[in-house]
Structure 1
Amino acid sequence: MPKMVNVSCSFTYEVAPVFVLMELEVLRSLRQLVGWTEGDGIFCPGGSTSNMYAMNLARYRLFPKVKSQGLWALPRLAIFTSPESHYSVKKGAAFLGFGTDNVILVKVDERGHMIPEDLDEQIELLKSQGVVPLLVSCTAGTTVQGAFDPLDGIADVCDKHKLWMHVDAAWGGSVLFSKQHRHLMKGVHRADSVAWNPHKMLVAGLQCSALLLKDTTNLLKRCHSSNASYLFQQDKFYDVNLDVGDKSVQCSRKVDCLKLWLMWKAVGSCGLEERVDKAFILVRYLVNQMKKRDGFHLLSEPEFVNVCFWFVPPSLRGREGNADYQNKLANVAPTIKERMMKQGTLMVGYQPLGDMVNFFRVTVFSPLVSHKDMDFFLDEIQRLGSDL
Structure 2
Amino acid sequence: MESSVQSHYSVKKSAAVLGLGTENVVVVKCDERGKMIPAELESSIVTAQEKGLVPFYVNATAGTTVYGAFDPLDAIADICHRHSLWMHVDAAWGGGLLMSDRHRMKLQGIERAWSVTWNPHKMMGVPLQCSAILVKKRGLLRQCNELGAEYLFQADKHYDVSYDTGDKSIQCGRHVDAFKLWLMWKAKGSQGFGAQVDKCLENAEYLYDQLQRRTGFELVYKNKPEHSNVCFWYTPPSLRGLPLGPDRDTRLHQVAPQIKGRMMEKGSVLIGYQPLGAKVNFFRCVFSNPATQQEDIDFLLDEIIRLGHDL
TM-score over 0.5 (shorter chain): yes
What is the aligned partner in structure 2 of residue 177 from structure 1?
99
> Within the alignment, does 1:280 sit opposite 2:210 as a pair?
no
What is the aligned partner in structure 2 of residue 289 from structure 1?
210
What is the aligned partner in structure 1 of residue 171 from structure 2?
250
Question: What amino acid is the match of 1:159?
Answer: H
2:151 to 220, 230, 237: 230
What is the aligned partner in structure 2 of residue 155 from structure 1?
77
2:122 to 184, 197, 200: 200
> Within the alignment, does 1:271 sit opposite 2:187 as a pair?
no
Alignment of 1:70-81 (within 5 A): 79-81=1-3
1:330-387 CA-to-partner distances (Å, cap 9, x unmatched) read: 0110110011111111221111111110000010120211111101100000001111
Alignment of 1:305-320 (within 5 A): 305-320=228-243
2:141 to 199, 220, 225: 220
Gap change, CA 1:258 and 1:297, over 3 Å in 2: same
1:230-261 CA-to-partner distances (Å, cap 9, x unmatched) read: 22122233332211010112122211011111
Question: What amino acid is the match of 1:315?
Answer: S
Distance 2:94 2:26 in 1: 23
What is the aligned partner in structure 1 of residue 45 from structure 2?
123
Distance 1:321 1:266 in 2: 53
Question: What amino acid is the match of 2:158?
Answer: F
How far 1:161 moved relative to its partner?
0.7
Distance 1:145 1:109 in 2: 12
TM-score by structure 2 length? 0.97
Distance 2:91 2:2 in 1: 16
> 294-303 or 355-364, which moves further after superposition?
294-303
Gap change, CA 1:87 and 1:322, over 3 Å in 2: closer
2:281 to 335, 344, 358: 358
Question: What amino acid is the match of 1:231?
Answer: L
1:114 to 36, 39, 50: 36
1:141 to 60, 63, 88: 63
1:99-149 CA-to-partner distances (Å, cap 9, x unmatched) read: 000000001001110011111111111111111111001111100111101
Distance 2:212 2:19 in 1: 48
Question: What amino acid is the match of 1:116?
Answer: P
The number of residue pairs the alignment matches comes to 309
What is the aligned partner in structure 2 of residue 189 from structure 1?
111
Question: Which ranges in structure 2 are unaligned for 5 or more consecutive residues?
Answer: none
> Within the alignment, does 1:99 sit opposite 2:24 as a pair?
no
Which structure would you say has the larger RCO, counting Cα contacts within 8 Å and 6 or more residues apart? 1
What is the aligned partner in structure 2 of residue 298 from structure 1?
219
SS at match of 2:210: helix
SS at match of 1:261: helix
Question: What amino acid is the match of 2:13?
Answer: K
TM-score by structure 1 length? 0.78
How far 1:267 moved relative to its partner?
1.1
SS at match of 1:132: coil
> Within the alignment, does 1:343 sit opposite 2:266 as a pair?
yes
Distance 2:190 2:270 in 1: 31
Gap change, CA 1:203 and 1:123, over 3 Å in 2: same
> 341-350 or 273-282, which moves further after superposition?
341-350
> Within the alignment, does 1:321 sit opposite 2:239 as a pair?
no
How far 1:322 moved relative to its partner?
5.0
Question: What amino acid is the match of 2:20?
Answer: F
1:34-65 CA-to-partner distances (Å, cap 9, x unmatched) read: xxxxxxxxxxxxxxxxxxxxxxxxxxxxxxxx
Provide runs of 4+ in structure 1 moved above 4 Å. none
Q: Percent identity?
A: 56
Question: What amino acid is the match of 1:103?
Answer: V
Question: What amino acid is the match of 2:125?
Answer: V
1:80-107 CA-to-partner distances (Å, cap 9, x unmatched) read: 0011110000000000010000000001
SS at match of 1:167: strand
Distance 1:91 1:361 in 2: 23
